[in-house]
Amino acid sequence: MRTRASFRIHSFASRTKNLLLSLAVLLFFFREASEAAVPLSELISGLYGGNGITLGAATRHDAHFTRESGDALNQLNDRLGTDFGVFPFNSSAGNFSFAFDADLGTFVSTTDTLGPIFAERAPTVGRGKWNVSFYATFFDYDEFNGQNLHDLHVEALHQPDEPPQFDPDGPIRGKRSGFELDTLDINVDIDASVRIFSPAVTFGLTDKLDVSVFFPIVDVDMDVRSYYRLNISPLNPTPDIHLTNVVDGAEAPADRASGSATGIGDIVLGAKYQFYKSGTLDLAGAFLAQLANGDKDNFLGSGDNTLRPFLVASRTFRALGGSPLNLTPHVNMGYEFNVDNFDRSAFEYIVGFDAGTRRVTLASELLGSHNQEGEDRFDAAVGVKWNVYKRLVLLGNVIFPLNDTGLRSDLITTLGVGMSF
């Protein structure tokens, strides 16, 4: 005889299996679609034919900007590329828990709020319980290290005549004089729009241990426009030597490239174990492994495998100020080991709170990181979760940057829906 409990678990497992299979088919399709396109990581470096900018020459002098300008664009491309494909992901909503209320002489629910946005809180979903969510995240990249992505400037120097210790693979150094003091100002305007559709599943292996998987499908549109200007040095005694007219053999100053890619992003596997629980404080240890399966060449993944152990602490204050509101401050603190590039490893933390009831919860968080290269990133997040029907939860949140480090969006918007079984 099939029991109700086993039927439920079997039924949900079956549904989840079907969901994942459908997703796999979908992802295969997306991956094929992205592979057919020009890799997005080559859009910037591929400007001006991909071999730098060649100017026209008024005399027998060659325009020695080619390699420098190519290097400058490649460096910009590399710096942008390291930050593409790094996306935040939401935490799961809480599940059913209860406690005995001696005053009322009965059991009351202790699922006080719907939980944080990106942080984890210590309580787990419970043995045999599922939390299935789907998130849609939208944003445009706006700035890189504080510079407007629509108005990036890259300076290309002229190759010196006799560079000392010439290194064919390194930057061109050496002493410049005369017309070698002319420079090219390459103005790059980048439109990069990202949409992430991410199913996430959390399952309670035991009452204290959750495992989870986050399965992002990433869609990136990128449009790059560039325009170069020749800056003639006042110290150049032959200011007419470098020419930018196409008729003189120069590459056209304006160039443009665009493309898009859709496919699976970096899959994240997680586990959380609640090892301490009291009336005042809950503690858990958690572990996230982010796989470098996303196509880095198309900015769908980070290209790095990372391991992230972290500690979770949360505390719930019930009936705040005598109101029906509950408040749960939470802290996540850990270290992200970048297996492929240790310099990009970082100390990470989230500090925040969620406040509200089982019906509506408002949450706010500070997300910070300090990497091995000494760079700090700070973001703020604000979000709302709404239990619209039974165990169906809708959520919306925004992230905005608090400093300029790296590639940033002015506003990252996420909408989601989640359900616990």
Pick from 25, 37, 108, 415: which binds other proteins (CB under 8 A)? Answer: 108
The residues in 114-133 that bind other proteins, with binding defined as CB under 8 A, are 126-128
Contact 391, 420 (CB under 8 A): yes
Tokens of 176: 């410049």
Residue 93 exposed, middle or buried by CB count within 10 Å (0-12, 13-18, 19+): buried
Q: Taking the complex as a whole, how short is the minimal distance between the CB of residue 3 and other proteins, in angstroms?
A: 4
Pick from 98, 166, 275, 400: which binds other proteins (CB under 8 A)? Answer: 98
Question: Counting contacts by CB under 8 A, is residue 280 touching other proteins?
Answer: no
Strands 268-277 and 242-243: unpaired
Question: Counting contacts by CB under 8 A, is residue 97 touching other proteins?
Answer: yes
**Contact flags string 170-209 toward other proteins, x per CB under 8 A:** -------------------------------------x--
By C-beta, is 203 or 214 nearer to other proteins? 203
DSSP of 259-310: EEEEEE---EEEEEEEEEE-SS-EEEEEEEEE-TTS-GGGTSS-S--EEEEE
Question: Counting contacts by CB under 8 A, is residue 322 touching other proteins?
Answer: yes
Question: Counting contacts by CB under 8 A, is residue 11 touching other proteins?
Answer: no
Instruction: Answer positive or negative: Cα dihedral of 202, 289, 362, 85.
Output: negative
Tokens of 353: 């709170």
By C-beta, is 124 or 338 nearer to other proteins? 124
Question: Counting contacts by CB under 8 A, is residue 389 touching other proteins?
Answer: no
Nearest CA to 16 among 130, 111, 157, 140?
130
By C-beta, is 103 or 167 nearer to other proteins? 103
Tokens of 283: 């503690």
By C-beta, is 108 or 252 nearer to other proteins? 108
Binding region for other proteins (CB under 8 A) out of 21-29, 36-44, 318-326, 340-348: 318-326
Q: Say how far apart CA 358 and CA 387 lie, in whole Å.
A: 7
Question: Counting contacts by CB under 8 A, is residue 319 touching other proteins?
Answer: yes
Question: Counting contacts by CB under 8 A, is residue 276 touching other proteins?
Answer: no
Tokens of 110: 């202790």
The residues in 128-157 that bind other proteins, with binding defined as CB under 8 A, are 128
Question: Counting contacts by CB under 8 A, is residue 18 touching other proteins?
Answer: no
Cβ neighbors of 177 (< 8 A, separation 6 or more) are: 235
Question: Counting contacts by CB under 8 A, is residue 275 touching other proteins?
Answer: no
By C-beta, is 93 or 264 nearer to other proteins? 93
User: What would you report as the CA-atom Rg of the chain, rounded to the nearest whole angstrom?
Assistant: 27
Pick from 10, 18, 22, 96: which binds other proteins (CB under 8 A)? Answer: 96
DSSP of 141-189: E-EETTEEGGGEEEEEEPPPSS-TT--TTS---S---GGGG-EEEEEEE
Question: Counting contacts by CB under 8 A, is residue 339 touching other proteins?
Answer: no
Q: Taking the complex as a whole, how short is the minimal distance between the CB of residue 4 and other proteins, in angstroms?
A: 4
Residue 398 exposed, middle or buried by CB count within 10 Å (0-12, 13-18, 19+): middle
Residues that bind other proteins (CB under 8 A): 1, 3-6, 96-98, 100, 102-109, 126-128, 207, 319, 321-324, 390
